[in-house]
Structure 1
Amino acid sequence: MWENVVYTKAQAKYKFQEIEAEPENCAPRQVKPPFDQLREYIINEKKSFLMNDKMKINSYAFDLHMGLVLYSLLNDSYRFNERLAAQDEIWRYLSLEVFPDLVYERFGINDQRFYKGTRRIWLKSIWWYIHLSWQGTEEETLNTLRDNSSDHILQLLDRSGSGGYRAELTRELMRQYKLYSSSKVPELFRRILKLNTARLNMIEPSLVEGGIKTYVDDLFKYFMNDA
């Protein structure tokens, strides 16, 4: 199914202009199978989330919930993987042809979130956030990420390093950040990511004695020892 998705940036721009002209009516009239079932499931999840009056669509809680749902559904039922997730063409199609109303409800008329920003396309960003933070189960991942914010999503995705994303490393980093997030070190997450980016130019984490776990532990200790 994914090999049949052909959606250029020019097509995306044209579709976005149509949405921009009439955003309140941007819900697709018809979605091609099998994406119609994907849409039905995701939209039902959105409605279920908003049944709680305390939950808002313009929130990190919504990003996290929909990210977990999207990640599990695509991976388990649609044979999704990192190779496909790296293709903006797929995310542009999903954003503009399958879920334009959902993206609009979350971000309004924002071309970066629909198709233009490689690391800002909303559906893409929440999938990668979950993927890079995955703790083995949906429950454990939720527990690890629940106290974060939308800013954590942007920071994590913006600091991929020269070699690209390293899922095993970022998953350990997110696991340990959960343990240290209540510390009094200001902007700890940002500092850890910057230090990691610098060290990756000189150190291969998997070759450190103790492996990736020890490497990440040392990142946090660098700031904890001065706290």
Structure 2
Amino acid sequence: MLFNYTRSPVVLCKDSDLRCKILEALELAKKVVCKREKRPNLNYKCGMREKARNGATKFSLFKYLNKFENEFHLDQEWLQKLYRLSTLDPKDSRYKFHQILPNYTKDIKITLNDARGLRADLKLFLHCCWASKFLLLPVYYSDIPRIKNGRSGRSVEYAKDAYPEIFKIIRAPFFSELECDVDISRFMAESSMKNLGGMPTGMFELAQLGRLRISPTSYWKNLQTTQFRELQGLLTGI
């Protein structure tokens, strides 16, 4: 399957490998959160002490997914349910998140701010599953992990440690903290760069040989044909 045109993610690995890969992606997501929050480490107690009254919570993965793996079959059904819940409005999902969370969370009231924080970090987790190359996200999926900049209020990217090589090249012009030797802007017109900057995450999928799969949808019609061919050639040669 080259592109996922469905409305649900597609698992690429064997069922027997899925549990291990889910846990590895979760650990990657937790490391990203620690770096995002400028903390050397975080744990379950940090999550429990966090107060939701100040806005969306930040430590949800530590609070709600602590030693939970033995309570669930970490299989495609669990992963698909998690994906569906991450797409819901927090006003609704706050009452449904317990479907994918361990039993101890049933005694924890999930407030609206809790639900907002949990949804955001579950989307980070899904991104880490994609970056780990065992989950194919829908081409419509557009949730690059972002957080609001306290000074400007605008959303900025933060999960650079979970960016595969090709994705780094694509995002480098829009994410100043990324270190990248390839300047993709040299191969594209300025108008095309604007389109590239807003492209959904799901349109970029890494093949096993490290080549970029670019979805041939109408989204690309605004790209200049010659520039697009140059871009493809550049990325295919990496």
Both structures adopt the same fold (TM-score exceeding 0.5): no
TM-score (normalizing by structure 2)? 0.30
Higher share of residues assigned strand: 2
Higher share of residues assigned helix: 1
TM-score (normalizing by structure 1)? 0.30
Higher relative contact order (CA 8 A, sep 6+): 2
